Amino acid sequence: MSQIIWYGAGKNLRDHEKEFVAETGYPVCICDASEQKQGIKYTFGEGGRKIVTLSR
Protein backbone atom coordinates (compact mmCIF):
# COMPACT_ATOMS: atom_id res chain seq x y z
CA MET A 1 0.00 0.00 0.00
CA SER A 2 1.24 3.53 -0.74
CA GLN A 3 2.07 5.96 2.02
CA ILE A 4 -0.22 8.96 2.37
CA ILE A 5 -0.12 12.25 4.24
CA TRP A 6 -3.40 13.78 5.38
CA TYR A 7 -3.61 17.56 5.35
CA GLY A 8 -5.99 19.23 7.79
CA ALA A 9 -7.00 17.89 11.19
CA GLY A 10 -10.32 19.68 11.49
CA LYS A 11 -14.00 18.84 11.37
CA ASN A 12 -13.79 17.23 7.92
CA LEU A 13 -11.26 14.67 9.14
CA ARG A 14 -13.24 13.88 12.30
CA ASP A 15 -16.50 13.53 10.35
CA HIS A 16 -15.10 11.39 7.52
CA GLU A 17 -12.17 9.55 9.12
CA LYS A 18 -13.58 6.04 8.55
CA GLU A 19 -14.21 6.79 4.87
CA PHE A 20 -10.69 8.20 4.42
CA VAL A 21 -9.09 5.17 6.10
CA ALA A 22 -11.19 2.77 4.00
CA GLU A 23 -10.07 4.52 0.81
CA THR A 24 -6.42 5.31 1.57
CA GLY A 25 -5.37 3.36 4.65
CA TYR A 26 -3.83 5.02 7.70
CA PRO A 27 -1.60 8.05 7.02
CA VAL A 28 2.12 8.23 7.74
CA CYS A 29 1.45 11.68 9.20
CA ILE A 30 -1.19 14.39 9.53
CA CYS A 31 -0.33 18.02 8.69
CA ASP A 32 -2.16 21.21 9.58
CA ALA A 33 -1.38 24.91 9.15
CA SER A 34 -2.84 25.83 12.55
CA GLU A 35 -0.12 26.43 15.13
CA GLN A 36 -2.57 25.49 17.92
CA LYS A 37 -2.80 21.93 16.56
CA GLN A 38 0.96 21.34 16.21
CA GLY A 39 2.19 18.47 18.37
CA ILE A 40 -1.30 17.26 19.32
CA LYS A 41 -1.80 13.54 18.81
CA TYR A 42 -4.76 12.68 16.58
CA THR A 43 -5.96 9.27 17.75
CA PHE A 44 -7.77 6.71 15.60
CA GLY A 45 -8.03 2.94 15.21
CA GLU A 46 -4.34 2.26 14.55
CA GLY A 47 -3.11 4.34 17.46
CA GLY A 48 -2.61 7.83 16.15
CA ARG A 49 -0.21 10.36 14.71
CA LYS A 50 1.11 13.70 15.96
CA ILE A 51 -0.03 16.68 13.93
CA VAL A 52 2.92 18.42 12.25
CA THR A 53 3.47 21.46 10.03
CA LEU A 54 3.19 20.98 6.30
CA SER A 55 6.83 21.99 5.88
CA ARG A 56 7.98 19.20 8.19
Closest CA to 29 of 11, 16, 13, 15: 13
Q: Give the pLDDT confidence of 2-54 residue by residue, as tens digits.
A: 688 888 888 888 888 889 889 888 888 899 999 899 999 988 776 788 899 87
Would you kindly state where each structural domain of the chain is located, as residue ranges?
5-52
- pLDDT of res. 55: 76
Does this model's pTM top 0.75? My answer is no
pLDDT higher than 70, residue 1: no
Buried b (16+ CB within 10 A) or exposed e, 10-37: eeebeeeeeebeeeeebbeebbbeeeeb
- pLDDT of res. 56: 66
- pLDDT of res. 39: 92
